[in-house]
């Protein structure tokens, strides 16, 4: 169902353990429609070998926010999570074309409870954000053994980094038998926030790598992003 208000999907990506801090800001602004997803970063092999590090674990806090509350919420997240510091995290929003009635009711109750914040905090402090649609989110649904070559090819095309989420394919012909039991293939979703100008080259590089490694056994797509905060490392 559609909503009477413009609604954004908002995502916060921070180091593992800081997701609760991000969620506390959502709740302070009466935004209760939240999911906490675990993922991990994509540090290059050279960096990991040099520093003796594993992939950095990440928290993804995902929710929906009404347009009227989005700017003040992003500003509060920027301040609370210290996103001016390189590598501390990223916040971005994507426009939604519709939501369910239950989600709309939750958002409307959040707007009513958030009126004090909107009237007193909205213009207090304005943190820098990207121009509208200056960035895009590239999502690749891939087999687990493809994450390294795909990330390397994306880096070669200009991508600075990404976040991996574990997933599992359902249905289709992807299942196999192990000791008489059906086992579903594990998948990963690789998320990369990239400047719009670099999107086509990065997507092309990803597709060429998938074709070379698997013969097109993967899916990649991009979405236009609205507001972005915490991109100091991406901008360098």
Domain spans of the chain, in order of start: 7-110, 135-173+183-229
Taking CA atoms, 151 is separated from 86, 148, 161, 206, in Å, by 20, 5, 8, 8
3 state SS of 217: coil
Tell me, yes or no, if the two domains 7-110 and 135-173+183-229 fold the same way. Answer: yes
DSSP character for 162? -
In CATH, the number for domain 7-110 is 3.30.70.120
Whether 93 contacts 9, CB under 8 Å: yes
Yes or no: say if 206 and 123 are a contact pair by the CB < 8 Å rule.
Answer: no
pTM greater than the 0.95 cutoff? no
C-alpha dihedral, 117 to 121 to 37 to 65, nearest 10°: 60
Phi, psi of 192 (to 5 degrees): -135, 125
Q: Which pLDDT score, from 0 to 100, does residue 114 have?
A: 57
| Architecture in CATH of 135-173+183-229 | 2-Layer Sandwich (3.30)
Q: What is the pLDDT along the chain (236 residues), one digit of tens a residue?
A: 444 568 899 999 999 999 999 999 998 888 876 788 889 887 655 434 433 444 588 999 998 888 888 899 999 999 999 998 888 899 999 998 887 776 777 677 666 555 555 444 433 444 445 455 789 999 998 888 888 899 999 999 999 889 999 887 765 555 555 455 555 578 889 999 999 999 999 999 999 998 887 776 788 999 999 999 987 645 54
């Amino acid at each position: 169902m559609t909503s009477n208000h413009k609604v954004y999907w908002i995502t916060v990506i921070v180091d593992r353990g800081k997701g609760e801090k991000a969620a506390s800001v959502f709740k302070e602004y009466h935004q209760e429609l939240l999911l906490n997803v675990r993922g991990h970063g994509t540090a290059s092999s050279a960096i990991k070998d040099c520093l003796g590090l594993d992939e950095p674990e990440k928290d993804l806090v995902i929710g929906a926010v009404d347009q009227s509350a989005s700017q003040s919420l992003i500003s509060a997240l920027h301040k609370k999570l210290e996103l001016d510091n390189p590598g501390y995290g990223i916040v971005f929003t994507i426009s939604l074309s519709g939501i369910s009635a239950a989600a709309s009711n939750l958002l409307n109750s959040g707007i009513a409870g958030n009126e004090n914040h909107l009237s007193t905090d909205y213009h207090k402090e304005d943190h820098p954000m990207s121009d509208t649609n200056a960035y895009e989110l590239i999502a690749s649904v891939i087999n687990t053994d493809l994450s390294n070559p795909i990330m390397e090819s994306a880096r070669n095309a200009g991508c600075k980094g990404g976040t991996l989420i574990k997933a599992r394919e359902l249905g289709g012909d992807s299942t196999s038998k192990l000791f008489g039991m059906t086992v579903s293939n594990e998948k990963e979703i690789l998320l990369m926030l990239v400047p719009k100008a670099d999107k086509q080259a990065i997507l092309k590089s990803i597709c060429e790598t998938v074709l070379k490694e698997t013969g097109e056994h993967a899916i990649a797509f991009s979405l236009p992003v609205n507001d972005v905060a915490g991109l100091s490392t991406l901008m360098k």
